[in-house]
């Protein structure tokens, strides 16, 4: 079981490595980031993983609603966010809009990234659960994000349960 003060960082780095290794077109920028994931430079793409929240739970995945006896809940649940971001097509030359070919290529890239990220996270969490590194997990719906600020991509969230220590 993953434990210690850096247990959530360990979960995040494990998932980041799994997704990075699964991407057909791996971005140069990748890693675990604190807090909300900033889309500040997607000229070369970006894979970012963050822990959005952590909460006590007596019954995964529900947050603890009330104090349990004299002790806290036996589990902590962390919400892991995985984003794969690419550049969104922009207008070129005198055109006021991107070409349909550029939009199609972007849609293909985002779809491939989303599929590869979802598969990598699902497989790795299943392996971690089988190895009893984690207590349980639940992969949430994947959402396509953007385009915004010249970027487009996918966001995947997963709930992961660890024993409290």
Domains of the chain, residue spans: 7-163
Say what percent of the chain tops pLDDT 90: 78
Dihedral of the alpha carbons of 137, 116, 22, 2, in degrees to the nearest 10: -10
Cis peptide before 142 (omega within 30 of 0): no
Tell me how far CA of residue 20 lies from CA of 3, 53, 77, in angstroms. 24, 22, 24
Tell me how far CA of residue 19 lies from CA of 13, 71, 75, 103, in angstroms. 10, 37, 26, 24
R_g of the chain computed on alpha carbons: 18
Q: Model pTM?
A: 0.93
DSSP state of 85: E
Q: What are phi and psi of 99, to 5 degrees?
A: -70, 155
Query: Beta 29-32 vs 46-57: how paired, if at all?
Result: parallel
Using a 10 angstrom Cβ sphere, with 0-12 exposed, 13-18 middle and 19 or more buried, the burial of residue 131 is exposed
Say if domain 7-163 classifies as CATH 3.30.70.
yes
Considering only CA atoms, which of 35, 32, 57, 60 is closest in space to residue 46? Answer: 32
- pLDDT band at residue 133 using 50, 70 and 90 as cut-offs: very high
- Look at residue 32 in the predicted model and tell me its pLDDT: 98
Tell me the per-residue pLDDT of 99-112, one tens digit each, with 9 for 90 and over.
999 999 999 999 99
- pLDDT band at residue 70 using 50, 70 and 90 as cut-offs: low
């Amino acid at each position: 079981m993953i434990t210690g003060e850096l247990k959530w960082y360990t979960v995040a780095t494990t998932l980041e490595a799994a997704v990075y290794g699964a991407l057909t077109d791996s971005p140069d920028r990748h890693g675990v980031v604190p807090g909300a994931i900033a889309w500040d430079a997607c000229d070369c793409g970006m894979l970012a993983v963050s822990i959005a929240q952590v909460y006590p739970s007596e019954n995964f995945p529900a947050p603890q609603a009330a104090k349990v006896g004299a002790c806290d809940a036996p589990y902590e649940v962390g919400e892991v966010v995985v984003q794969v971001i690419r550049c969104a097509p922009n207008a070129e030359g005198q055109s006021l809009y991107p070409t349909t070919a550029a939009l199609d290529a972007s849609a293909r890239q985002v779809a491939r990234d989303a599929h590869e990220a979802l598969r990598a996270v699902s497989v790795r969490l299943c392996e971690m659960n089988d190895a009893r590194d984690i207590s349980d997990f639940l992969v949430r719906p994947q959402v396509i994000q953007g385009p915004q600020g010249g970027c487009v991509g996918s966001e995947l969230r997963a709930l992961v349960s660890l024993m409290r220590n």
